[in-house]
A and B are shown apart, each in its own frame.
Chain A
Amino acid sequence: MNLLRELLFPLIAVVAAFIVGGILILIIGDNPLQAYALLFGSALSWPVGIGYTLFYATPLIFTGLAVMVAFRCGLLNIGAEGQLYIGAFATAWVGITFANLSPWLLIPLCFVAAILGGGVWGAIPGVLKARFGSHEVINTIMLNFIAVALLSYFTQYHYKTPGDPIMETVPIGSGAHIARLGKVIHGLPEFIPLNVAFVLALICCGLVYLFLWRTKWGYELRATGTNPSAAEYGGISVRKQIIVAMTISGALAGMVGINEVLGYRYRYYDGFSDNYGFTGIAVALLGRNHPVGVIISALLFAVLQRGGIPVDAFTEHVTKDIVQVLQGTIILFVAAEAFFRGPFAKFGLLKR
């Protein structure tokens, strides 16, 4: 029953958002059923559709986990966007600077760089909150813009191929490339950038679960989130937990760089993130701040992202902006869950 309730409201929110989107599509004179058939049909077709959907899901699993860990500590990390950029640049920097190292050494170093980069950028608002009490929401928003400006500077002035009109760094050494799954999965073409980072994302889901629910440290972090004053009274240092949670959160966001830089573009590309950090908030929220929920909702948002492309191309009026419309509406409905709770309680369908 408990599980059912956990699943019920996210499901209602998604269905409601699709209904709202459907009405909008109807208003502008297209057939919503045709649009949705295109969306799901293409995103779930084997092998290209599914390959890309899983590739798009990878960064969303990382950012979803990032937001989730902070949320379990009672913090809202709006800064995954900045943290993932810093992580991506850090991993690219190692891949460029130590290009000649053996892959056995270079790839782990690149992983560590992504994790450290994101972790440090996440730790800053954690320290600011723990030390000065300044709100993490404002600071993470500000740090997003600072990260973008800083990395745009380094890309433009220090790491770009001279004369390249595109804002991207020089390529990383080939020793830092991680394998695409097309190499091992039969029937999956290798041009699809789905790579080892996807497997890493799933492993991280397991690790986050073990950490939060099976270790003393995870317990302390969650206790801080549930009731900070009780946690403090019970001998847990709330300030320390805030810094730890934000650091882990940032590190998880930074791992987006592994997928993007080491598995896909093989360089740092300025402004690559398609709002992954913000979508991560939706992923965590819809996934009820649980690793399994994060995987499921990351897949859903990835389906939208992949499916938006054919919808744009093959309907008369509907553009791929429908994806943002659906995403925004889903978060709105998940956030304002009481909107659905009301009618359910009225008809006695839900007892609390």
Chain B
Amino acid sequence: MTEIFTISLIWSTIRLSTPLILAALGGMFSERSGVINIALEGMMLAGAFTAAAVTYAVGSPFVGLVAGMGAGIVIAAIHAIACIRYRADQVVTGTAINILMIGVPGFLSGAFFLSSGSTPQIPKEHLIPWTPIWIAVLLVPLSWYVLYKTPFGLRLRSVGENPEAADAAGVPVARMRYAGVLLSGLLAGIGGAYLSIGQSSLFTRNMTSGRGFIALAALIFGKWRPVQTMLACLLFGLTEAVTIQMQGVVKLPSGEDIPVQFIHMVPYVLTIIVLAGFIGSSRPPKALGIPYQKER
């Protein structure tokens, strides 16, 4: 058993947690402002594809990273406009964006790269394996500070808890919610970019493979708070790292592989348990999911 718990496990936990931390903290800004964000998956895909395509075309991963953030913001803007301005159902809109973003990267790569859903290989010197990790590391204290110690954070939380009172106090509810959702797009975009130009060297079809939803689970498991959310991401990253390291190494006494499927379930089962209130209670922002209409 000891051979799994090595330096390489820690390193692989950090690498696997990074996109989760970025997306989950993004989701936190959106949900604390009162807008449900199950579109993290789609926003990550947008960031991953755009970052890889632009890096390949321009040859600069930093331009690619910025483009990935931009793509995340564009997708977030669609979510924000539909949910805030047109008061669409936030879960349905999020689902629509996820379906849309399964298609769009494939559609564009078919046109630009004549491939069936992936970008060409990016040369090794054009990858940024470290930058997104540092961004994620710095982001945790930063988002804690922004959320709890700045007027912006206070306003953001107030429109998520009680938009009527916030409005009465002069806080621009819609503008704060736009800010929250767009921030989630920006951060999920970085998370996606890390997958394509940090961890690997190209975009492949559906390369997020559910990480947006694990990030959402971590956000709930972390009770919509930055530090707890990071810890949840590290835990979920660790479970994934363990499954990768265990494969073919650790056997059951009967000589068979340990089924990885059960370890894959851990984040999801934990989230259901914590949401039901068995381990402490995880309470969402009060106005989460409710469109706000100003009294006329």
Interface residues of A (CB under 8 A from B): 24, 28-29, 76, 78, 128, 131-132, 134-135, 137-139, 141-143, 145-146, 149-150, 152-153, 156-157, 275, 278-279, 281-282, 285, 317-319, 321-329, 331-332, 335-339
Q: Is the pair A328, B261 in contact by a Cβ cutoff of 8 Å?
A: no
Which one, B92-100, B119-127, B137-145, is touching chain A?
B92-100
**Interface membership of B244, Cβ < 8 A:** no
Interface residues on B, range: 35 or more
A138-B271, A139-B272 in contact; A149/B107 too (CB < 8 A)? Answer: no
Q: Contacting B101 at CB < 8 Å: which of A134, A141, A146, A328?
A: A328
Q: Are A128 and B272 in contact (CB under 8 A)?
A: yes
9 contacts between A and B (CB under 8 A): A28-B110, A134-B276, A139-B272, A150-B261, A156-B259, A156-B261, A282-B96, A321-B102, A327-B100
Residues of A within 8 A of B102 (CB): 275, 321, 324, 328
Q: Does B106 contact A (CB under 8 A)?
A: yes
**Are B110's CB and A338's CB within 8 A?**
no
A149–B264 CB distance below 8 A? yes
Q: Which residue from chain A places its CB closest to the CB of B79 in the assembled complex?
A: A332
CB <8 Å contact, B261 and A335? no
Chain B positions within 8 Å of A321 at CB level: 102-107, 110, 117
From B10-18, B66-74, B212-220, give the one contacting chain A. B212-220
Name the A residues within 8 Å of B172 (CB-CB).
Answer: none
Closest to A275 in B: B99
Chain A residues closer than 8 Å to B116, beta-carbon distance: 319
Which candidate, B83-91, B154-162, B184-192, is the interface stretch facing chain A? B83-91
A119 to B103, CA, bound (A): 31
A339 to B87, CA, bound (A): 9
If A138-B271, A143-B268, A324-B100 touch, does A332 touch B91 (CB 8 Å cutoff)?
A: no
Find out whether the CB atom of B91 lies under 8 angstroms from the CB atom of A78.
Answer: yes
Known: A156-B259, A332-B97. A141 touches B216 (CB 8 A): yes
- Contact present for B101 and A145 (CB under 8 Å): no
* Residues of B with C-beta under 8 A to A76: 89, 91-92
With contact pairs A139-B272, A338-B88 given, residues A145 and B265 touching in the complex (Cβ less than 8 Å)? yes
B249 at the interface (CB under 8 A from A): no
Q: A residues within 8 A CB of B275?
A: 128, 132, 134-135, 138-139
- Interface residues in chain B, defined as those with a beta carbon under 8 Å from any beta carbon in chain A: 36, 38, 78, 81-82, 86-89, 91-93, 95-108, 110-112, 114, 116-117, 210, 213, 216-217, 220, 259, 261-262, 264-265, 268-269, 271-272, 275-277, 284
Contact B217 A335 (CB under 8 A): no
Which of A78, A150, A323, A329 meets B95, CB within 8 Å?
A: A78
Compute how far the CA of A321 lies from the CA of B99 in the bound complex, rounded to whole angstroms.
10
**A153-B261, A318-B111, A325-B103 provided; 5 other pairs, C-beta below 8 A?**
A281-B92, A321-B102, A321-B103, A323-B103, A332-B97
| Secondary structure call for the A interface | helix
| Cα-based distance from A28 to B97 in the complex (angstroms) | 21
Contact of B268 among A28, A145, A156, A327 (CB under 8 A): A145
Alpha-carbon separation in the docked complex, A131 to B278 (Å): 12
C-alpha spacing A153/B95, complex, angstroms: 27
Q: For the complex, what is the distance from the CA of A128 to the CA of B102, rounded to whole Å?
A: 30
Chain B interface mostly helix, strand, loop or mixed? helix
In the complex, which residues of chain B have a beta carbon less than 8 angstroms from the beta carbon of A323?
103
Contact A322 B259 (CB under 8 A): no
Q: How far is the CB of B243 from chain A (nearest CB, A)?
A: 11
Query: Do residues A143 and B272 form an inter-chain contact, with CB atoms below 8 A?
Result: yes
> Is the beta-carbon distance between B99 and A331 smaller than 8 angstroms?
yes
CB distance from B250 to the nearest CB of A (A): 16
A120–chain B nearest beta-carbon distance, Å: 15
Give Cα A161 to B196, complex, Å.
36
- Say whether A339 contacts B86, CB under 8 Å: yes
Query: Chain B: which residue is nearest A326 at the CB level?
Result: B103
Please, which residue of chain B has its CB at the minimum distance from the CB of A124?
B272
CA of A128 to CA of B282 in the docked complex: distance in angstroms? Answer: 14
Residues of A within 8 A of B213 (CB): 141, 145
Are B100 and A332 in touch, CB under 8 angstroms? yes
A150 contacts across to B, CB distance below 8 A: 261, 265
The interface residues of chain A lying within 8 Å CB-to-CB of B110 are 28, 317-319, 321
Partner of A331, one of B92, B105, B210: B92
Residues of A contacting B78 in the complex (Cβ-Cβ under 8 angstroms): 332
Enumerate chain A residues within 8 angstroms of B259, measured Cβ to Cβ.
153, 156-157
Q: Are A132 and B277 in contact (CB under 8 A)?
A: yes
Instruction: Kindly list chain B residues whose C-beta atoms are within 8 Å of the C-beta of A328.
Output: 96-103
Q: A335 CA to B291 CA in the complex, in Å?
A: 13
Would A281 and B95 count as touching, CB distance under 8 A? yes
The answer to whether B111 and A278 touch across the interface, beta carbons within 8 angstroms, is: no
- List, in ascending order, chain A residues with CB within 8 A of B88's CB: 332, 335-338
Distance from B222 Cβ to chain A, minimum over Cβ atoms (Å): 13
A138 touches B103 (CB 8 A): no
A49 to chain B, nearest CB (A): 22
Contact B95 A141 (CB under 8 A): no
Across-interface contacts of A132 in B (CB, < 8 A): 275-277
Report B-chain residues with C-beta under 8 Å of the C-beta of A332: 78, 82, 88, 93, 96-97, 100
